[in-house]
Structure 1
Amino acid sequence: MFILVNLKAYDCNPVAVAAAAADVAEETGARIAVAPQAARISAVAATGVETWAQHVSPVEHGSHTGSTHAAAVERTGAVGTLLNHSENRQKLADIDASLNGAESEGLETVVCANNPDQIAAATALDPDAVAVEPPELIGGDESVATADPDIVTDAVEAAGSVDEGVDVFCGAGIATGEDVAAARDLGADGVLLASGVALADDPEAVLRDLVSPL
């Protein structure tokens, strides 16, 4: 199981969270990655934790003020990127262009989607993984794996019907080791979470709980 912690734009110390994640990953052998804002990728990567970008723009080199180029995040230490998070949605053609840019720089890719139908469409674009995240559960107290388990199993089935080589993650409300275990038992290959770690008083303790079933 892959655990990807998205720090979004939360008022947290990304280096402290990353250092905790690096320690837990090293001690337990669990795969944990942290996705900070673009400006903090280098500092997070310096902790030794697997570091991801929250987004890369569908642009080539050139006049694209405000964009985040895939080469820029790769050169500052990111090894992967989220795409099409529900808080940063893209058109299908732009997802495809962002995937091409990310893959040209050797970045691993996860395309987020709201439901199994969108998961199937995202899988057809050939990312490394897709992640189902119902928007209504993001940031809430209920995990998608327990509040709506069918959407996870349906997403796994939808992705597999298109390309069995694409991993399926789930997100929204993931906060505990029990949530991770439930996601695994439903067929997910990993989980995405954010506030449960980023805003925790003790991120390391939360991370240890998250990996405890693995």
Structure 2
Amino acid sequence: MFVLVNLKAYDVDPVEIATAARDVAEESGARIGVAPQAAHLPAVADTGVETWAQHVSAVEHGSHTGSTLAEAVADAGASGTLINHSEKRLKLADIDAAMDAAERAGLETCVCANNPDQVGAVAALGPDAVAVEPPELIGGDVSVASADPDIVEDAVAAANAVDDAVAVYCGAGVSTGEDVDAAGDLGAEGVLLASGVAKADDPRAVLEDLVSPL
């Protein structure tokens, strides 16, 4: 089970959270990744935690001012990237091109989707993983695995029907070890969360609780 923490653009100390994630991962044996702002990628990677980008653009080297070049992300220390997060939506063709860019740079990919139908569509593009995240639950206190477990089960079924090599992650509202356990019971191979860790008074304690069932 992979625990991927998206720091979004929250007013947090990314190095502090990354250090806590690294320590909890080492002590528990769990796989934990952190996705900071692009400017913070080198500092987070320097902690030794598994580091992910929040986005890569569907571009190659060239005249693309303001874009997030996949090669630059990899050079900064990232080993993977989110694509098509609910807060950074892309058209299907751009998702495909962003995945090509990530593959070119050797980055693992997790494409976000709102529902099982979208999961099936993006699974056909061949990402490493798809995260199902109903937008209405993002940033809330109720996990999708608890609020609507059918979505997770249907997402797993949709991905498996297209390509059973594509892992399904459970996102939106995940904040406790019980949420992680429930996601696993529904067939998810990872969880994607943000505020549950980033906004916590004690991120390390939350991370320890998240991996406690693993």
For 1:130-149, list aligned pairs within 5 A: 130-149=130-149
Distance (Å, rounded) in 2 between the aligned partners of 1:174 and 1:147: 11
For 1:171-210, list aligned pairs within 5 A: 171-210=171-210
Distance (Å, rounded) in 1 between the aligned partners of 2:199 and 2:64: 33
Distance (Å, rounded) in 2 between the aligned partners of 1:158 and 1:114: 13
CA RMSD of aligned residues (A): 0.3
Amino acid at match of 2:136: E
Distance (Å, rounded) in 2 between the aligned partners of 1:203 and 1:69: 30
Q: Secondary structure at the match of 2:174?
A: coil
1:49-104 deviation digits (Å, cap 9, x = unpaired): 00000000000111111100000000010000000000000000000000000001
The residue that corresponds to 2:28 in the other structure is 28
Structure 2 stretches lacking a partner, 5+ long: none
Distance (Å, rounded) in 1 between the aligned partners of 2:181 and 2:118: 24
The residue that corresponds to 1:54 in the other structure is 54
For 1:109-120, list aligned pairs within 5 A: 109-120=109-120
Distance (Å, rounded) in 2 between the aligned partners of 1:59 and 1:92: 15
Distance (Å, rounded) in 1 between the aligned partners of 2:211 and 2:6: 16
Q: Secondary structure at the match of 1:168?
A: strand
Q: Secondary structure at the match of 1:89?
A: coil
Distance (Å, rounded) in 2 between the aligned partners of 1:162 and 1:143: 26
Shift of 1:141: 1.2
Shift of 1:14: 0.3
Distance (Å, rounded) in 2 between the aligned partners of 1:169 and 1:44: 22
Q: Which runs of 4+ in 1 moved over 3 A?
A: none
1:15-60 deviation digits (Å, cap 9, x = unpaired): 0000000000001100000000000000000000000000000001
Distance (Å, rounded) in 2 between the aligned partners of 1:109 and 1:154: 21
1:147-201 deviation digits (Å, cap 9, x = unpaired): 0000000000000000000000010000000000000000000000000101111
The residue that corresponds to 1:169 in the other structure is 169
Distance (Å, rounded) in 1 between the aligned partners of 2:87 and 2:147: 21
Distance (Å, rounded) in 1 between the aligned partners of 2:66 and 2:106: 22
Distance (Å, rounded) in 2 between the aligned partners of 1:142 and 1:76: 34
Structure 1 stretches lacking a partner, 5+ long: none
Q: Give the number of aligned pairs.
A: 214
TM-score under structure 1 normalisation?
1.00
Amino acid at match of 1:192: L
Q: Provide the identity percentage.
A: 75
Q: Secondary structure at the match of 2:160?
A: helix
The residue that corresponds to 1:15 in the other structure is 15
Distance (Å, rounded) in 1 between the aligned partners of 2:147 and 2:93: 32
Amino acid at match of 1:121: A
Q: Secondary structure at the match of 1:10?
A: coil
